[in-house]
Structure 1
Amino acid sequence: MVAVTTVLVIIIVWSAVSSPLDRRGITSALFFMVVGFIVTLLLPQVLDLRVEALAAERIAEVGLALLLFSDATRLNLRALRSQLSWPTRLLLIGLPLSILVGFGVGLVVFPGIAVASAFLLATMLAPTDAALGQKVISDTAVPPRVRQALDVESGLNDGLGVPFFLVALAIANAELETGFTTAVFTNMTLQIGWGVAAGLVAGLFGGLLFRLGDRQGWIAPEWRQILALVSALLSYAIAFQLGGSVFIAAFVGGITFGYTVGPVRSVVSMLAEQAGDLLAAITWIAFGALALSLAIPHITWQVVVYAILSLTVVRMLPVAIALAGRGARVQTVAFIGWFGPRGLASLVFALIALERGVPEAEVVLTTVVVTVALSILLHGLSSVPLVAAYHRWYSAHSSRTPDAAESVSTIVPRRRREIPGASGIGQA
């Protein structure tokens, strides 16, 4: 109970000072990770959070699914349909290229690593984190089209990355019974197909009942938020049972639920988002207390180099290729390329790999942990100054070029995290 008490105290402290810290770029993930690490370093017995990998995996998965669902409920489908170019290219071109570039970098940086392990590492670090990117996505100083591209990409790429990861894990453990292309296609069909189906079923079921009950005045006020939360959990549960991607199910479920319930979607999913925040907080404290602490003795210069390249070249080069010819200026391409944080999805993949076992686990898992930790630090601290710099450039650019690609009208609904002037620049 000492560990549980300590975790609760840490979360309460963050809650009390979250706003001024967040404005300075100290995100919740950064705070929880650092505090968890420091407490473990100074008082090793206080945060003894040794839990089964499977339990930790479920906590991280459900937390990410709830955040994906709540974010997706606020997407405007009409605006999304008319502005699919950037997010589609980031997903269908950028994501596969990130895996390929990460694979090549892994073979160069770790010359003795098995080919299968290098490919596995690349798939684990390809997805970006929707939750860690919220500070940028919700900042009104960033052009709506850029925010939407990052939002949709981060919402779907972890789900789309699951088939590649599962195939890579099977190859690494010599469990693949078919050809690579067949395995990827089969896994992708199952993960996407069942994930979409689960999201549609849960989103429609919860959304239609909410709409009916709301119109008739049948829903008690205290159950409005609970209905949305349970709909999110239902999308996760159905996808899990069917063998589909729980992340795709959550995102599709959120879009379907939000479209079905109508304008109130902006407020009824707040409990789901807050529950996701709570589970993510527990995950990041455990990450700092256990994963980061255990990984430190195994960190080598190769691990650090790969982590840095993963956050820069491996991410930014594919983004530049994906957006080539789409009218985006180099400043926008660099901004989108940099803000691709690694987080909960990569940790979930690492926990699955830890549970099932993987060759060269020490190198692979240590590299994932260091990359995620470095991402939390760098993306958090750089968000405020880089958003400010990008806003200054965009303001000047859009005034000179009104028809700039970045200025295309795009509706990005207001989020709970959106505070007028949160960056010191943007206004709601």
Structure 2
Amino acid sequence: MQGVRFLMDPYVVVLTVFGMVVLLTAWLPMVLKELPLTLPIFCVALGAAIFAIPHIPGVIPHPREQIKLVEHLSEFVVIIALMGAGLKIDRPFSWRRWKLTWRLLGISMPLTILALVLLGQTLLGLGFATAMLLAATLAPTDPVLASDVQVGPPGGGEEDEVRFSLTSEAGLNDGLAFPFVLLAIFFVHETSLRTFAEWLAYAVVWKVAAGTGIGYLAGRILGWLTFHLPNRARLSRTGVGFVALGITCLVYGLCEIVKGYGFLGVFVAALALRSTQHEHHYHRRLHDFAEELERLTMMVLLVLTGGVITGGGLFESLTWGSAAFAILAIFLVRPLAGWIGLLGVSRPAPEKWAISFFGIRGIGSIYYLAYGLQRGAFEKPDLLWSTTGLIILVSIVLHGVTVTPAMNRLDRHRSVMARKAEARPTPPRGEARLS
């Protein structure tokens, strides 16, 4: 007998790694809570380490080789995150109370797209359509990886202006960046005024209106079924959290059937559902399930992302232009565009800088790029994957390391200012009138 050769079954390896990921999903957030280290950083590092092992079964492919799977997996993670983000917002919807959100969406995001288009053409040598696809891919902040800068659970009281602005922006801009992805697809096929008019009518007017309308109606109807039916029939009596998954998939599917923006519809539906019975304890159960599912699917996707870096050759097409593009996008474009969007807002400068800086890129960018590359003959697709992957990696590490100390410092500053305001003597009523 010359020896026994043991072969690892790829299925067994995947099952083992998945079990480890599930356990880490539950354990790591508790361990990392007070450290300048986040779950996404650990996941990417874990995936990179696992798939760097020589001869590991089932070598992970480059995203282009499984692009449809990449699209749908990232899509699912994003819609679950959007449902959780919408359910956790306590602030009622209004133009005045959401004014910082509208500024980030209406001023900062278009400025970001414009700047990234110019950088893509200058540093990467891309044509307009391809530069537009890359810019639209990277413009929206991410509802998945931004959980550490978002508001707390429903009714948790963690809804200061910084956390609220970043949560509501991430919830809405994943849908509102989609028109620019479609503009890139339109222009890669044909360039004319007619093309632009069709894009405006279809990608902006119809798809935004359909996504918003379906999301609102579905959220209100599902809210009535959940909270306002006779007691025996209402959904809230079930007490189960996986209803959130059913609502998410139903609303997303309805929006996509009528050619609306499903991302936008899911977030609006969550807001509408929450508004039907704002203080009900069942919202917490729905949110907690959505958050747990989001965390698990996010970890799986990020472990695979780390594996693609070391085992799939994601960075093989990187250039010095890509590195310069990534540095400018993260350290200059988003912070400057965010600051410009918040000019004139009466908030402390540290809060405005935090809102501007924590424009985290992540899973949504993966989805948009996979979506766009399947629907148009864009140039240099491997360069687009490498550049987007680099920006996501830098964002995960940079924002992950800085988010905990930055938010803690803002919280301390806010507490000090609140105590000073309470200690300040109130002038007599007569003096107040005279002044």
Residue in 1 that maps onto 2:410: 390
Q: CA contact under 8 A between 2:74 and 2:363: conserved in structure 1?
A: yes
Q: CA contact under 8 A between 1:129 and 1:342: conserved in structure 2?
A: yes
**Whole-angstrom distance in 1 between the partners of 2:275 and 2:49:** 44
Gaps of 5+ in 1: 403-428
* Partner amino acid, structure 2, of 1:250: V
**Whole-angstrom distance in 2 between the partners of 1:300 and 1:25:** 30
Shift in Å at residue 248 of structure 1? 0.3
Shift in Å at residue 213 of structure 1? 4.8
Q: Does 1:11 align with 2:22?
A: yes
Moved more, 199-208 or 344-353: 199-208
Q: Does 1:371 align with 2:382?
A: no
Q: Does 1:70 align with 2:99?
A: no
**Whole-angstrom distance in 1 between the partners of 2:55 and 2:113:** 37
Moved more, 328-337 or 228-237: 328-337
Relative to structure 1, the CA distance from residue 164 to residue 278 in structure 2 (aligned partners, 3 Å threshold; closer, same or farther) is same
1:359 aligned counterpart, secondary structure: coil
Residue of structure 2 aligned with 1:38, choices 49, 62, 71: 49
Q: Does 1:297 align with 2:311?
A: no
Moved more, 202-211 or 353-362: 353-362
Residue in 2 that maps onto 1:326: 345
Shift in Å at residue 395 of structure 1? 4.4
Shift in Å at residue 93 of structure 1? 0.9
Relative to structure 1, the CA distance from residue 234 to residue 358 in structure 2 (aligned partners, 3 Å threshold; closer, same or farther) is same
Q: CA contact under 8 A between 1:191 and 1:243: conserved in structure 2?
A: yes
Residue of structure 2 aligned with 1:335, choices 324, 337, 354: 354
Q: Does 1:127 align with 2:136?
A: no
Residue in 1 that maps onto 2:70: 56
Relative to structure 1, the CA distance from residue 183 to residue 237 in structure 2 (aligned partners, 3 Å threshold; closer, same or farther) is same
Gaps of 5+ in 2: 1-10, 423-435
Shift in Å at residue 371 of structure 1? 0.5
* Partner amino acid, structure 2, of 1:321: I
**Whole-angstrom distance in 2 between the partners of 1:133 and 1:234:** 25
**Whole-angstrom distance in 1 between the partners of 2:236 and 2:43:** 35
Cα deviation digits, residues 159-202 of structure 1 (max 9, x gap): 00001111113323548783436524530123211211221233
Shift in Å at residue 254 of structure 1? 0.4
* Matching of residues 126-275 of structure 1 within 5 Å: 126-138=139-151, 144-174=160-190, 178-180=194-196, 182-213=198-229, 215-216=231-232, 219=235, 224-264=240-280, 265-275=283-293
Shift in Å at residue 208 of structure 1? 1.2
* Partner amino acid, structure 2, of 1:367: T
Q: CA contact under 8 A between 1:225 and 1:268: conserved in structure 2?
A: yes
Q: CA contact under 8 A between 2:241 and 2:288: conserved in structure 1?
A: yes
CA RMSD between the two structures: 2.7
* Partner amino acid, structure 1, of 2:34: R
Q: Does 1:358 align with 2:378?
A: yes
Relative to structure 1, the CA distance from residue 318 to residue 182 in structure 2 (aligned partners, 3 Å threshold; closer, same or farther) is farther
* Partner amino acid, structure 1, of 2:21: I
**Whole-angstrom distance in 1 between the partners of 2:67 and 2:289:** 27
Relative to structure 1, the CA distance from residue 53 to residue 392 in structure 2 (aligned partners, 3 Å threshold; closer, same or farther) is same
* Partner amino acid, structure 1, of 2:295: D
Q: CA contact under 8 A between 2:211 and 2:261: conserved in structure 1?
A: yes
Q: CA contact under 8 A between 1:236 and 1:249: conserved in structure 2?
A: yes
Relative to structure 1, the CA distance from residue 13 to residue 395 in structure 2 (aligned partners, 3 Å threshold; closer, same or farther) is closer
Shift in Å at residue 313 of structure 1? 1.3
**Whole-angstrom distance in 2 between the partners of 1:258 and 1:274:** 19
**Whole-angstrom distance in 2 between the partners of 1:213 and 1:30:** 44
Relative to structure 1, the CA distance from residue 325 to residue 142 in structure 2 (aligned partners, 3 Å threshold; closer, same or farther) is farther
**Whole-angstrom distance in 1 between the partners of 2:254 and 2:110:** 27
Relative to structure 1, the CA distance from residue 296 to residue 399 in structure 2 (aligned partners, 3 Å threshold; closer, same or farther) is same
Between the two proteins, what is the percent identity of the paired residues?
A: 23
2:401 aligned counterpart, secondary structure: helix
2:217 aligned counterpart, secondary structure: helix
Residue in 2 that maps onto 1:26: 37
Moved more, 89-98 or 116-125: 116-125
Residue in 2 that maps onto 1:86: 100
* Partner amino acid, structure 2, of 1:380: G
TM-score when scaled to structure 2? 0.84
Shift in Å at residue 272 of structure 1? 2.5
**Whole-angstrom distance in 1 between the partners of 2:318 and 2:330:** 17
Q: CA contact under 8 A between 1:239 and 1:249: conserved in structure 2?
A: yes
- Higher Cα Rg: structure 1 or 2? 2
Q: CA contact under 8 A between 1:142 and 1:387: conserved in structure 2?
A: no
Shift in Å at residue 304 of structure 1? 1.6
Shift in Å at residue 144 of structure 1? 0.8
Residue in 1 that maps onto 2:131: 118
* Partner amino acid, structure 2, of 1:45: I
Shift in Å at residue 80 of structure 1? 4.9
Cα deviation digits, residues 241-263 of structure 1 (max 9, x gap): 12211110110010111112432
Q: CA contact under 8 A between 2:129 and 2:378: conserved in structure 1?
A: no
**Whole-angstrom distance in 2 between the partners of 1:296 and 1:146:** 34
Q: CA contact under 8 A between 1:94 and 1:322: conserved in structure 2?
A: yes
1:364 aligned counterpart, secondary structure: helix
Relative to structure 1, the CA distance from residue 261 to residue 176 in structure 2 (aligned partners, 3 Å threshold; closer, same or farther) is farther
Relative to structure 1, the CA distance from residue 127 to residue 219 in structure 2 (aligned partners, 3 Å threshold; closer, same or farther) is closer
Residue in 2 that maps onto 1:105: 119
**Whole-angstrom distance in 1 between the partners of 2:16 and 2:59:** 11
Shift in Å at residue 81 of structure 1? 5.1
**Whole-angstrom distance in 1 between the partners of 2:140 and 2:200:** 16
**Whole-angstrom distance in 1 between the partners of 2:211 and 2:55:** 41
Shift in Å at residue 105 of structure 1? 2.2
Moved more, 306-315 or 225-234: 225-234
Q: CA contact under 8 A between 1:163 and 1:188: conserved in structure 2?
A: yes
TM-score when scaled to structure 1? 0.85
Relative to structure 1, the CA distance from residue 214 to residue 106 in structure 2 (aligned partners, 3 Å threshold; closer, same or farther) is farther
